[in-house]
C-alpha cells in the first residue's frame, strides 16, 4: 500500500500540491503507481486487505517484539490456512518452499534484514511469511494441475471436457441443486 507519508514525499519532489502542473501531476501518479506496485511485490502480491488478515494471524500466533514469528507460530498459521505439516515429507516441502520464498522475497525488494539467512528456520518476518504462503499456494496449484493432467491422460478426456465437468459441478454446488444418487434417490449437495 501507499501511505500518506509516501504520497506526501512524492509530491514534495515536484513542489507543493497547489503548484503541480498537469505534467507534474501525471509524473506523481506514475511514481505512486510504481511505489504501490513495488510495495505489493514486497508483500508477495497480496492486497492490503489480505496483508491485514495475515498480519492479524501473524500477531495472534506469537510474534516477538521485533515482529518475527517462530516456527511453531508459523505452523499454527499454516494449519489455519489448511497447510498441514503432519509428516516428514510435508515438513521438508515447506522447508524447501521457504528457501524459494526467501529468494523471491529478495528479488521483490524485501529488506535483507527481514529475510534471515538461507537455511534459517527459527524465525520469520511477515514479508518472508507472506512469500512462503504465496509459494505454498502456487506449489499446490501446480500439483493440482499436474494431477488433473495425469487424470485426463488416464481417462482420455480433453481439457475442454474437464473444464466443462468442472463448470457443471461448480454450478450444481453454487445453486444447491440436489445431486442425483445411483439408487434413484436424491442427495442434497453440500452448502
Q: Tens digit of pLDDT for each residue in 38-68?
A: 766 677 878 878 888 888 888 887 666 557 7
Please give the torsion angle defined by the CA atoms of residues 75, 88, 91 and 136, in that order, rounded to the nearest 10 degrees: -120
Strand duo 179-180 + 186-187: pairing: antiparallel
Which of 91, 92, 116 shows the shortest CA–CA distance to 102? Answer: 116
Q: What is the mean pLDDT of the chain?
A: 79
pLDDT digits (tens, 9 = 90+) for 67-86: 778 888 888 888 888 888 88
Q: 26-35, 53-62, 166-175, 178-187: which has the minimum mean pLDDT?
A: 178-187
- C-alpha to C-alpha distance for 26 and 87, rounded to whole angstroms: 54
The DSSP line for 6-31 is HHHHHHHHT--GGG--HHHHHHHHHH
How far is it, in rounded angstroms, from Cα 182 to Cα 28?
Answer: 64
State whether residue 180 is helix, strand or coil.
strand
Model-wide pTM > 0.75: no
Amino acid at each position: 500500500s501507499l501511505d500518506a507519508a509516501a504520497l506526501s514525499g512524492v509530491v514534495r519532489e515536484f513542489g507543493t500540491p497547489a503548484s503541480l502542473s498537469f505534467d507534474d501531476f501525471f509524473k506523481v501518479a506514475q511514481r505512486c503507481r510504481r511505489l504501490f506496485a513495488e510495495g505489493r511485490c514486497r508483500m508477495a502480491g497480496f492486497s492490503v486487505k489480505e496483508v491485514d488478515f495475515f498480519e492479524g494471524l501473524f500477531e495472534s500466533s506469537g510474534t516477538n517484539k521485533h515482529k518475527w514469528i517462530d516456527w511453531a507460530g508459523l505452523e499454527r498459521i499454516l494449519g489455519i490456512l489448511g497447510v498441514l505439516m503432519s509428516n516428514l515429507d510435508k515438513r521438508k516441502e515447506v522447508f524447501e518452499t521457504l528457501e524459494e520464498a526467501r529468494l523471491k522475497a529478495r528479488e521483490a525488494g524485501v529488506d535483507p534484514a527481514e529475510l534471515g539467512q538461507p537455511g534459517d528456520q527459527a524465525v520469520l518476518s511477515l514479508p518472508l511469511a507472506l512469500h512462503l504462503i504465496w509459494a505454498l499456494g502456487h506449489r499446490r496449484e501446480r500439483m493440482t494441475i499436474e494431477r488433473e493432467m495425469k487424470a485426463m491422460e488416464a481417462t482420455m478426456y480433453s481439457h475442454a471436457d474437464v473444464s466443462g465437468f468442472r463448470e457443471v459441478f461448480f454450478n450444481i454446488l453454487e445453486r444447491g441443486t440436489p445431486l442425483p444418487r445411483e439408487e434413484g434417490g436424491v442427495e442434497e449437495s453440500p452448502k
